[in-house]
Structures are given as C-alpha cells and as structure tokens.
Amino acid sequence: MLARGSAAFVLLPALGMVASLAAALAFSSVAALYAGLPLGVLFLFAVVFFRDPERVPGRGVVSPADGRILAADPDRRTLTVFMNLTNVHVNRAPWAGRISRMTYSPGGHAPAYRAEAARNERLETVLDTDVGQFRITQVAGVFARRIVPYRREGDRVNKGARVGMIRFGSRVELALPRGVRIVAGVGDRVRAGETTVAEVDRGPR
C-alpha cells in the first residue's frame, strides 16, 4: 500500500521509464534505454519511500513514527523519533482520542537530527484523550519540504490510526501527559503504531 499524497512521486518516474523503454524498442535506441534507467531507480526509490504497510496497534502508548529514538526525557515526558530515508514516513496516533488543535509553523530545514531543527517547519497536533493531552509534532528535515496532514481539528482517531506523513528525512516529537511513563530509550528502533514507547499508570491500557 502507498501513502496518501504520493501518487505523483510514484507515477511520474514510472511513466517516464515506460516512455523511454517504448522509445528504445521503437527506434532501437540505446540512448533512450539508458535514459530510462535513472527513472527506473527513481521509481523504485519512490515505491520504497512511500510504502504504507498495515499495522496492528501494540500495547500501551505506541510510537507515532518509524525510526530511531533520538531523545527521551522521562522527567519532561517527551521523546523524539528520527526518521531516515529508508523508514516508513506515515505517522500514527499514539493513543485514541480527539484532535483539539493543529498548529502549523513555517521555519527552516536544518537536518532533523540536529538541535537547530527546533526552528524547522513543523505541525503540532494536540490529541485530547481519556488519560490526558498528547502533543505530536511533525518536524520537517533538510529534504522534507512538505508535511501532509491526514486529519482535521475535531477528528476522532483510534490508537495507531494514520494522522499524516512527512516527505523525506524528518522527525516526530511526542509530549506525554502526567501519569504516562516512558519505557523506551535513546537508540531504540521503533515502528509507528506498533512499538510501545510508554505505559499508562492510570486509566485503560
């Protein structure tokens, strides 16, 4: 399955590749054949990058993104997941609830793993739940120029539901409510919607 909003990125190189191959066959043109090779590579990259596999929600609070945990602060109840180019870039809800606010902020495009990325383009989504308020912040990276939301304010989402994606390298920051304990650590590899990153010490699990 491909992520929403990815059709142009996948279809354009595919059409160009097919056109080059057709020209190579029709005119016995080696040049047209070679011209189609980079487009074929681009097509394969787009298919891999924009993949959107189905996920079964894990227990507790689940990761909002695929990738590696870049920072985890149990005292402030915050964690950051860095997504590289090979990760799935569709982001998911860490807990079931209602989206009460979405705030977009323009900014720079520093590499997402650096501290300067705190001033990057971002979209903060506030999720009101039965255990408190979660804040999911999608942060654009050096190659990511577009944050694509799948939801609107007022929408209700289940745990593990898709909430949006960031094109190319980027990161997602998650702020947790009181009563939620982080169990994941820096360097852990996580999968959006599946990997448990925190446990709820009160309320339903």
The string over 91-106, giving b where at least 16 C-beta atoms fall within 10 Å of a residue's C-beta and e elsewhere, is bbbbbbbebeebeeee
Q: At 112, list the tokens.
A: 């997402």
Domain range for 82: 61-200
Among residues 200, 174, 197, the alpha carbon closest in space to that of 185 is found at 197
* 2 domain residue, yes or no: no
Shared domain check, 130 and 158: yes
Shared domain check, 116 and 28: no
Shared domain check, 181 and 149: yes
For residues 66 and 6, the model is more confident at 66
Which residues are annotated as catalytic? Answer: 170
Mean pLDDT of the chain: 83
- What pLDDT shows up at residue 109? 65
Domains in the chain, number? 2
Q: Residue 125 sits in a domain of what CATH number?
A: 2.70.70.10
Shared domain check, 172 and 79: yes
- What pLDDT shows up at residue 147? 85
Shared domain check, 16 and 99: no
pTM, full prediction? 0.80
- What pLDDT shows up at residue 118? 66
pLDDT at 196 over 80: yes
Cα gap 143→146, rounded to integer Å:
9
- What pLDDT shows up at residue 11? 61
